[in-house]
Amino acid sequence: MSDAPIPVVDLHADLGWRMETHPYDPLSDAPGEHIDLPRLRRGGVALLGTALYTPAESAAPEAAAAYAAKVLRILESVVDRSGGALRWVRGRAETASAVRNPDPRGPAFLLTMEGVAPLGSDLSALDRFHALGLRVVGLTHNPRNAAGDGTGVPAAERRRGLTPFGRDLVLRMGDLGIVPDIAHLAEEACGDVFGNAAGPVICTHGGVRAVKDHWRNLSDDQVRAVAASGGVVGVDAYPGHVARSGRGTLEDVALHMEHVAATGGPGAVAVGADFAGFDGDTVEGMEDAAGYPALARFLLGRGWTREQVEGAFWRNTLRVLEAVLR
């Protein structure tokens, strides 16, 4: 078996939001940050899900679209200044090429959305963002929005499914070749996603409640539904989601990945670290985007085969993207 580094598809990073709120240059070494180009290279990241996240203070209909446009301009400026080290991918063929033949200069970016506040309640806005490259959409962040309830809505106040607008969004995603993401969606609304999706459904970043009982983590029923759709669960490196105690370790990350595999099958395991999306402690050994080789060595040391690590790091997610993207 080859000893070559294993490429990584990381489903979720908040680089644009981080640069908007804490300006820095990710093209050079940035101590204290999770993501910069040197770290992405050392981590072997071939494809990075790069999110348009709208914080609550900018989520009002009159502000959210403008905020998303601002973040997208920040990301586009970084790509433009990278001299080709960074680039966007949109379609199936170029995405597959970026993963199967990684560019040593740096990863490709795939545009994602975390919460549909920038769409307001306008279905045609999804088409406009799709034209800009949007290929993965998380229906909510933690609060309620026009599509449905997020995981932050108290259980007693949750509605039983998506709104009509939310269901229409999922249907339109199928028309456009956009992957639905349930990472922050209230469990009560997930059935409407699976019932209306044209193809695989994913969770870009999170953990599982069976390992860490956190309100943002997935139940086993959700893991099984994602797997049954042909999708993947991207396990993250946010200690709040994965750590059983303290700041968390590589073993904690491995336990979440192994539970996804045991519950949904090995084809359901993926990674989505949530780097640049949180402050404070990071998982020991996965402090930033350079940590993936350490995670690979740890998993191999636990008895994972190289094929299983490759599945979790890139093959499973690429299967989903090739099934949905056009």
pLDDT tens digits for range 95-127: 999 999 999 999 999 999 999 999 999 999 999
Which residues partner with 66 through β-bridges? none
116 occurs within a structural domain: yes
pLDDT, tens digit, 9 for 90 and up, residues 237-291: 999 999 999 999 999 999 999 999 999 999 999 999 999 999 999 999 999 999 9
Joined tokens for residue 75: 């990301």
240 neighbors 231 (Cβ within 8 angstroms): no
Average pLDDT, the chain: 97
Report how far residue 238's alpha carbon sits from residue 286's, in angstroms, rounded to the nearest whole number: 9
The 10s digit of each residue's pLDDT in 215-228 is 999 999 999 999 99
The two three-digit tokens of residue 146, written as one number = 């026009």
Total tally of structural domains belonging to the chain:
1
Query: Model confidence over 27-54: pLDDT tens digits?
Result: 999 999 999 999 999 999 999 999 999 9
Query: Is 1 a domain residue?
Result: no
| Residue 278 in domain | yes
Query: Residue 158 maps to which CATH number?
Result: 3.20.20.140
What pLDDT is attached to residue 2?
56
> DSSP label at 132?
T
User: 128: helix, coil or strand?
Assistant: helix
The reply to whether 103 falls in a domain is yes
> In this structure, is residue 66 part of a structural domain?
yes
Which residue range is the domain that position 82 belongs to?
8-324
* Angle in degrees, 0-180, between the axes of helices 187-196 and 164-176, rounded to the nearest 10: 40
Q: What is the DSSP string of 144-177?
A: --SS--BTTS-GGG--SS--HHHHHHHHHHHHHT
What's the pLDDT at 1? 41
* pLDDT value, residue 62: 86
Q: pLDDT tens-digit profile of 172-195?
A: 999 999 999 999 999 999 999 999
Question: pLDDT digits over 62-95, tens only?
Answer: 899 999 999 999 999 999 999 999 999 999 999 9
Alpha helices in the chain (DSSP H): 15-21, 37-43, 61-81, 92-100, 123-131, 164-176, 187-196, 220-228, 239-242, 250-264, 292-301, 306-310, 316-324
Asked, for residue 3, whether it belongs to a domain, the answer is no
- Is there a domain that residue 239 lies in? yes
Q: How far apart are the first and last CA of the chain?
A: 33
Give the side-chain half-sphere CA count within 13 A for 287.
7
Q: What percent of the chain has pLDDT over 70?
A: 99
